[in-house]
Amino acid sequence: SLLITLLFFWIIAIGVAYYLSRSSMKPIMDAWKRQRQFSANAAHELRTPLTVIQNQMEYMLTKPKTKVVDQVDAISTTLDEVRHLQTLTNRLLMLARSDAGKIEIRKQEVDVKPWFEHVLKPYDDIAASQHKSLNTVLKADGKGRFDEDLIRQLLIILLDNAIKYTPKGGTVTVVTLLNRDKLTIEVRDTGTGIPDADKKRVFDRFYRSDKSRNSKTGGNGLGLAIAKWIVNQHAGTITVKDNHPKGTVFTVGFKVS
């Protein structure tokens, strides 16, 4: 009779699960599932750098008498992973705050061209230090209103990716066009490109194409999810397409009136 009771509860449980998955509870169940998935992914992403840091520290401790100069490799690997953790936690925090509606959008009037020149300036050196070149074309005379902090973050995400996914010798081009009250930003690279099947998923949280996962480019799959959120906050659009003959083009457009 124990078996029959168990079977009974099992059937009831399946029935309830089926009902919940089909009924009006579905959106709530889906949101809960997404949240659970998000936490699992976040924990997974945190674990990898932490393991590397732990290994490096343990290794250093096996040679307590060596000088710092002889531990430079281990120290710089550790630092790289710490930086990686920093970006990851900042991005997780940003997404958590955006989900909770805790980020206030503050639009200011900006003199577009000098603003872009200023934000893009350090990227000449960053690209050059990795043997890549950066071109900028700014056809943006005039003023526009947007949230400077957020649009700066958006640009940084797109530029970091363009540089990261472009091999040495490649070129990244940023084109900014202000046409009446519409601002268009295009970030073009000559890099690895994104397979068609991945194009619509790259904006999902934690999504990384297999190609980038395997190439150890050290990303976390959150950048473009944040970029998309920022663009939405400006009631704009962000799209991705192939560059020719190779590479990727991200195009952002929004009104700055």
3-class DSSP state of 207: coil
Asked if 132 touches ligand ADP (CB under 6 A), the answer is no
**Helices in 100-222 by DSSP H: which ranges?**
112-129, 148-164, 196-199, 210-214
| Closest separation in Å from C-beta 113 to ligand ADP | 24
Q: Which residue is nearest to ligand ADP (CB)?
A: 219
Contact residue for ligand ADP among 56, 153, 233, 248 (CB under 6 A): 248
| Closest separation in Å from C-beta 149 to ligand ADP | 18
Pick the stretch among 33-41, 77-85, 112-120, 213-221 that binds ligand ADP (CB under 6 A). 213-221
Structure tokens at 242: 């192939």
The helix or strand, by DSSP H or E, that contains position 87, with its residue range, turns out to be helix 72-99
Structure tokens at 128: 């050059």
Fill in the amino acid letter for 153.
Q
Reference 113, options 80, 88, 136; nearest CA is 136
Asked if 223 touches ligand ADP (CB under 6 A), the answer is yes
What binding mask, one character per residue, do residues 173-212 give for ligand ADP by CB under 6 A, x or -? ----------------x-xxxx-------x----xxx--x
Site residues for ligand ADP, window 138-157 (CB under 6 A)?
157
Say which residue the tokens 């603003």 belong to. 115
Find all residues with CB under 8 Å of 256, minimum gap 6, and list them.
Answer: 110, 112, 143, 144, 145, 146, 178, 181, 182, 183
| Closest separation in Å from C-beta 106 to ligand ADP | 24
Binding footprint of ligand ADP on the chain (CB under 6 A):
157, 161-162, 165, 189, 191-194, 202, 207-209, 212, 219-225, 248
